């Protein structure tokens, strides 16, 4: 499409990144081919040198993968400008999973002896990677409450080895939100590489590149795919030279590539991304309001409610309160388990961002292994329920909640 820079968000979702197909297929097919051929040795050389555009080997990409990557670049940069006022150009690398995208980012930007500064309650896998795997490679991390900007600055002043700032906002499962603008500008002033896991918010709600961050990562498994059909991840960067150079090199050598089928499913999901998010978010607001007035509910964590401690920060950097919420039942652990077992429509499952409403009970599942005291400190109380609000008719979601509450 010619004027993609001025097209609307949903048009970008549908048409962005698509290039005409040689055999005139309407959609880009699943390229199930491990290797690509050359017309001549001369042409092979030109493609290898990057002088001619072309595909070489499946681990390095395919047309199906390129389409999903380009779409995500366009969505993360939607209506953003670079410092000279022209449309911001981003580069995305599709990975086999969100964790794989995070690994490529960390391993292409950190050396042994350098440290990460990050905050509480990251995604469990990221937390474990930083705690259990990276220290063995000489990469330590410092955990600070990112709500306290002065404290973050004190730590940065005192430790010259900190090279990378890692943020995730909103965070799981209490929807804590940190100030991207203030933290990114602080990080940059200390010369750090600044990166944001934007999985929960998605580019529909929040565009971290607006605040000059260096990288955005997603688990595309969630809202971007939107149908729960494939695990995937993406690393998006704005330093094109670095993205095309050392970051691409690291990605290719670690071997965490995506594949034609998963990329096809992702692209297919992305076509309806804007429309899906609209419905997810409006349904979530209705569910939050319902729970907020309920006599069995002690507390509702939803960024669209003024009662959420980070409501103001969230409204500044996000389009609305989002599609994720959690709530605490007065009856604690027992009530949580009972509520889930009584659900007749909503699905008892971890993960998020699918068309159907998913409910999970972190204390008995995702965070069951976290020591009780630490769990409470992170706000994961015994009766806390996490909801990824789906796109079903709102009356059906509310009716299911109502009968399970009785
Ligand atoms: C799911 C998730 C990940 C990990 O992604 P995978 O695709 O499961 O590897 C990372 N960050 C957040 C916030 C997530 O929700």
Low-confidence ranges of the chain (pLDDT < 50): none
Whether the ω angle into residue 170 lies within 30 degrees of 0, i.e. cis, is: yes
Longest dimension (CA), the chain: 74
Nearest Cα to Cα of residue 365 among 384, 346, 378: 384
DSSP secondary structure string, 44-84? HHHHHHTSS----BGGG--HHHHHHHHHHHHHHTTT-B-TT
| Ligand 1 pocket check for 103: Cβ under 6 Å | no
How far apart are the C-alpha atoms of 220 and 3, rounded to whole Å?
26
pLDDT digits (tens, 9 = 90+) for 21-71: 889 999 999 999 999 999 999 999 999 998 999 999 999 999 999 999 999
- Domains annotated for the chain, with CATH where assigned, are 4-30+61-270 (3.40.640.10), 274-405 (3.90.1150.10)
Cα(126) to centroid(ligand 1), Å: 8
Cα(219) to centroid(ligand 1), Å: 4
Nearest Cα to Cα of residue 271 among 4, 66, 93, 15: 15
pLDDT of residue 375: 82
Cα(266) to centroid(ligand 1), Å: 15
| Ligand 1 pocket check for 233: Cβ under 6 Å | yes
Nearest CA to ligand 1 atom 2: 219
How far apart are the C-alpha atoms of 84 and 95, rounded to whole Å?
31
pLDDT digits (tens, 9 = 90+) for 240-250: 999 999 999 99
Q: Probe ligand 1: pick from 219, 223, 352, max atoms within 8 Å of CB?
A: 219
Nearest CA to ligand 1 atom 1: 219
Cα(198) to centroid(ligand 1), Å: 10
Q: Probe ligand 1: pick from 103, 123, 206, max atoms within 8 Å of CB?
A: 123
Nearest Cα to Cα of residue 91 among 64, 66, 62, 110: 66
| Ligand 1 pocket check for 221: Cβ under 6 Å | yes
| Ligand 1 pocket check for 98: Cβ under 6 Å | yes
Tell me whether strands 193-197 and 233-237 are parallel, antiparallel or unpaired.
Answer: unpaired
What is the distance between the terminal CA atoms of the chain, rounded to a whole angstrom? 53
Cα(40) to centroid(ligand 1), Å: 42
How far apart are the C-alpha atoms of 304 and 285, rounded to whole Å?
7
Our measurement of the distance from residue 360's CA atom to the centroid of its chain's CA atoms, rounded to an integer in Å, reads 19
Asked if 351 contacts 221 with a C-beta cutoff of 8 angstroms, the reply is: yes
Cα(312) to centroid(ligand 1), Å: 26
- Output the CA–CA distances (angstroms, integers) from residue 342 to 173, 218, 309, 337, 360, in the order listed: 22, 33, 31, 9, 13
How far apart are the C-alpha atoms of 286 and 398, rounded to whole Å?
8
Q: Which helix (H) or strand (E) holds 358?
A: strand 358-360
Q: Angle 312-314-315 (CA atoms, 0-180°, nearest 5)?
A: 65
Please tell me the pTM assigned to this model: 0.96
* DSSP structure class, residue 364: G
pLDDT of residue 109: 98
| Ligand 1 pocket check for 97: Cβ under 6 Å | yes
Nearest CA to ligand 1 atom 8: 98
Q: Angle 303-376-326 (CA atoms, 0-180°, nearest 5)?
A: 30
- How many residues would you count in the chain? 406
Whether the ω angle into residue 173 lies within 30 degrees of 0, i.e. cis, is: yes
CB environment 28-38: b (16+ within 10 A), e (fewer): bebbeeeebee
| Ligand 1 pocket check for 166: Cβ under 6 Å | no
Tell me whether strands 384-388 and 324-329 are parallel, antiparallel or unpaired.
Answer: antiparallel
Cα(98) to centroid(ligand 1), Å: 5
| Ligand 1 pocket check for 231: Cβ under 6 Å | yes
| Ligand 1 pocket check for 123: Cβ under 6 Å | yes
Cα(94) to centroid(ligand 1), Å: 14
Asked if 322 contacts 200 with a C-beta cutoff of 8 angstroms, the reply is: yes
pLDDT of residue 172: 84
């Amino acid at each position: 499409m010619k004027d993609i820079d001025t097209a609307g968000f949903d048009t970008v979702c549908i048409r962005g990144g698509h290039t005409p197909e040689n055999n005139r297929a309407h959609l880009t097919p699943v390229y199930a081919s491990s290797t690509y051929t050359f017309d001549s040795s001369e042409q092979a050389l030109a493609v290898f040198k990057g002088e001619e555009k072309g595909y070489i080997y499946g681990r390095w990409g395919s047309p199906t993968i390129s389409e999903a990557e380009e779409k995500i670049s366009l969505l993360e940069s939607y209506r953003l400008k670079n410092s000279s006022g022209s449309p911001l150009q981003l580069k995305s690398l599709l990975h086999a999973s969100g964790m794989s995208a995070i690994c490529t980012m960390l391993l292409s930007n950190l050396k042994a002896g350098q440290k990460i500064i990050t905050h509480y309650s990251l995604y469990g896998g990221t937390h474990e990677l930083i705690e259990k795997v990276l220290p063995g490679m000489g990469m330590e991390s410092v955990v600070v409450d990112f709500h306290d900007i002065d404290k973050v600055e004190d730590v940065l002043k005192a430790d010259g080895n900190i090279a990378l700032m890692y943020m995730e906002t909103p965070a799981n499962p209490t929807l804590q939100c940190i100030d991207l603008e203030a933290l990114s500008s602080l990080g940059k002033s200390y010369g750090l590489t600044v990166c944001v896991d934007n999985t929960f918010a998605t580019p529909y709600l929040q565009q971290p590149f607006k605040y000059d961050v260096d990288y955005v990562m997603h688990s595309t498994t969630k809202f971007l795919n939107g149908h729960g059909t494939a695990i995937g991840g993406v690393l998006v960067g704005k330093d094109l030279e670095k993205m095309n150079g050392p970051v691409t090199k690291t990605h290719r050598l670690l071997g965490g590539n995506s594949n034609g089928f998963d990329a096809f499913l992702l692209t297919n999901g992305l076509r309806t991304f804007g429309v899906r998010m609209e419905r997810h978010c409006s349904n979530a607001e209705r569910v939050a309001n319902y729970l907020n007035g309920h006599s069995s509910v002690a507390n509702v964590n939803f960024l669209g409610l003024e009662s959420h401690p980070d409501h103001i920060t969230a409204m500044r950097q996000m389009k609305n309160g989002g599609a994720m919420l959690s709530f605490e039942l007065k009856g604690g652990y027992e009530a949580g388990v009972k509520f889930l077992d009584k659900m007749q429509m909503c699905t008892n499952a971890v993960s998020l961002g699918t068309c159907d409403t998913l409910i999970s009970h972190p204390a008995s599942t995702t965070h069951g292994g976290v020591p009780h005291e630490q769990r409470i400190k992170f706000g994961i109380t015994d009766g806390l329920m996490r909801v990824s609000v789906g796109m079903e008719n709102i009356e059906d979601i509310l009716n299911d909640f109502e009968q399970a509450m009785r």
